[in-house]
Amino acid sequence: MDALLLPRNEKALRAERPRMMPLAKLPVFWALEGRRVALAGGSDAAAWKAELLAACGAEVHVYAPSGDLGEVCARLIAGRAPHPQGSFVHHNVAWTPEVLAGAAFAIADCETEEEAQAFCQAARDAGVPANVIDKPAYCQFQFGSIVNRSPVVVSISTDGAAPILAQAIRRRIETLLPPALKDWASLAQTLRETVNARLKAGAARRAFWERFVDRAFQETPEEGVEMRLVTEMDRLSANRTDTGRVTLVGAGPGGAEHLTLKAVRALQAADVILFDHGISDEVLELARREATRFPVDERSGRTCHGQEDVHGTVVSLARAGKHVVRLTSGDPVTSEGAGEEIVRLRHQGILADVVPGVAVTNGEIARLGVPRPARNSADPIPRRPGRWSMQPPTFLSGRDASGGMPFKQGIMHEAKRPADRSPLGETERAWSGFAVTRAHRTPDPLRRSGRPIAAALARFALLITSRAGAGGS
C-alpha cells in the first residue's frame, strides 16, 4: 500500500522528515517483580528510591550501617512494601563491589565524588546499570517524575536539567488523567486477548479501542461494562466492511500549539497522513508513530502529484481500510476545495469528516506563503469562503418593497437544511430564513437609509417569504 504514496525520492523524504526527533534519554519501563536491587546508603533520598523500587515488586537490599540509617529509611524498612512481590532487606554493612553482582540495578547515595566514581565503576565491572543520586555524571539511567495510574504509568524527564520543571509537568498531567483511568486500563488488560480473537487487525479493532478510550476519559466503568464491550466487539465483527475513513484536519497557522484536541486525536489515530508544506515538524511529532507521512502540497517541491492524484491516493487507501488524515494549514471549513473533496468522498461511499482549524491571521498567511483568496472589487458583499450547497442554487429576481429598481441575480438557497445534507453541517442562516451566498452589485436605490446591500437583500427575502405565507393562509 505504501507504493501508492511514496515517490522515487523516498529515502530523501524520510531523511528530511524523521518520524522521531532527537531524544536526550530513552524512556524504558523495566519489569522488576522478584528482581534484586542493590541500594547503598540510608538517607531520605535513598529511602524514596527504595520505596519506588519496592512498589514495582523489586527485592530491595539496603547496604548501610544501622547508625547511618535515617528515620525515614528505618521506618520504611520496618514496614511492608506496597507491591505484593516487593520487599526490603537491610544489611548492617557498607556496600562492597561483591554485593552488586547479579543485581538488576545498583543505586547509591554518595557524599563524595570519589565514592560515586568508585561505585559507578564497580557497577560497570559487574555489568549492572548504575545510578548515583544527584550526580548525573555517574548515572547510566535516571528516575523521572511519575504519574501513577498503574497499569498506566507516565514518567517525565528533563535529563537532569530542571527537576522542578518535571514536577510542574507532572502536576499538570495529574489534573488531566482521571483516577478511573486505572480501572479502565486494568479492564483493557483483561479484554485484550478477547479483542484479538474476535476482531482481526485493522479498522474494526482500531475502532473498538478508539471507542474504548473515549469512554475511559468520560465515565467510570460500571458493573456490566465488560459484557457491553463484548457486545460491541460482536457488532464490529459482524460488520465486515473493510472501508476506512478520511479526516480533513486543519492545523491552523501550522504550529503545534494551535492544534485542537480533536485534531491531535485524529493524528494519533491515523494510518496515513498527507500533509501540506506549511505543516511543522512539531505538528507531525504529535501523530501516531506508525503512521505513514507524505507531503502532497505541490508548492513544497517534493512531489509532483496533482490534486486528482492526491484524491485517487486517498480513495485507494480508504478502500483498503486505512484511516487517512489530510492535514492542511488553516481551516478546511473555509476552503471550497476541501468541501468539494468531502462531497466527492461521500459520493464514493467513503466516510469523511472534518476537524476545523484555528483561524489564520493575515500575518500567519504571509508567513506560510499561502495566497489569499482573490475578491472581486466590484462585489460589495464580503463573503466567507467555503460555504457551499449540495443542492443547486435558486436564482431570484423581483423589485424592492417600494416597487423601485429590480433585484439583480440574487443567488440564494434555503438555509434550513439538515446537517447531513451539507458536508460541514448547516450553512449560515440569514434572519430572513435564507442564506445569501452570492449577489451582484445592485442599483443605489437598495442602499437608501445608509443600509448595506446585504441588509437590503435580507429584507427583500423576508418580504418574499411573508407574502408567500400570506397567500397560503
pLDDT of residue 362: 62
**Exposure class string for 80-113: b at 16+ Cβ within 10 A, else e:** ebebeebbbebeeeebeeebbeebbbbbbbbeee
Q: Which of 95-99, 234-238, 265-269 has the lowest mean pLDDT?
A: 234-238
At residue 318's C-alpha, the angle toward residues 313 and 324, to 5°, is 80
pLDDT of residue 101: 95
Average pLDDT of the segment spanning 452-457: 57
pLDDT of residue 430: 34
For the ranges 178-192, 193-207, 405-419, 429-443, the one whose mean pLDDT is highest: 178-192
Q: Distance from CA of residue 428 to its chain's centroid?
A: 29
Strand order in the sheet with 406-414: 394-399, 406-414, 434-439
* Closest residue by Cα to residue 323 from 438, 242, 379: 242
Cβ contacts of 250 within 8 Å, gap of 6 or more? 263, 328, 329, 330, 331, 332, 333, 354, 355, 356, 357, 358
- Return the DSSP state at 258: G
Q: Which helix (H) or strand (E) holds 238?
A: helix 225-238
Q: Using the Cα atoms of residue 251, residue 255, residue 260 and residue 263 in order, give the sign of their dihedral.
A: positive
Between 298 and 224, whose confidence is greater?
224
At residue 18's C-alpha, the angle toward residues 13 and 19, to 5°, is 120
pLDDT digits (tens, 9 = 90+) for 377-431: 544 444 444 444 344 444 444 444 444 444 333 434 333 334 443 343 333 333 3
Cis peptide before 151 (omega within 30 of 0): yes
pLDDT digits (tens, 9 = 90+) for 199-212: 887 777 877 888 88
Q: Which helix (H) or strand (E) holds 11?
A: helix 10-16
Residue 447 predicted with pLDDT over 80: no
Task: Find out whether 244 and 322 touch, Cβ atoms under 8 Å.
Answer: yes
Strand 87-91, strand 59-63: pairing: parallel
- Please write down the long-range contacts of 32-35, taking CB distance under 8 Å and 24 or more positions apart: 32/56, 32/57, 32/58, 32/104, 32/105, 33/57, 33/58, 33/83, 33/85, 34/58, 34/59, 34/85, 35/59, 35/104
Average pLDDT of the segment spanning 114-142: 95
**In the block, residue with C-alpha cell 518535571:** 166
Question: Measured between alpha carbons, how far is 49 from 418 in angstroms, rounded to an integer?
Answer: 60
Average pLDDT of the segment spanning 77-92: 94
pLDDT of residue 335: 73
Between 264 and 120, whose confidence is greater?
120
- Which residues share a beta bridge with 399? 406
Between 473 and 196, whose confidence is greater?
196
Question: Measured between alpha carbons, how far is 441 from 409 in angstroms, rounded to an integer?
Answer: 9
Amino acid identity, residue 9?
N
Average pLDDT of the segment spanning 258-286: 85
Instruction: Tally Cβ neighbours within 10 Å of residue 169.
Output: 18
Residue 443 predicted with pLDDT over 60: no
Residue 224 predicted with pLDDT over 90: no
pLDDT of residue 470: 55
Between 310 and 150, whose confidence is greater?
150
pLDDT of residue 458: 61
Question: Measured between alpha carbons, how far is 45 from 72 in angstroms, rounded to an integer?
Answer: 9
pLDDT of residue 373: 52
Average pLDDT of the segment spanning 123-147: 93
Q: Which of 178-182, 183-187, 232-236, 238-242 has the lowest mean pLDDT?
A: 238-242
- Which residues share a beta bridge with 88? 60
Amino acid identity, residue 159?
D
pLDDT digits (tens, 9 = 90+) for 32-45: 999 999 999 999 99
Task: Find out whether 440 and 407 touch, Cβ atoms under 8 Å.
Answer: no
Strand 272-275, strand 323-328: pairing: parallel
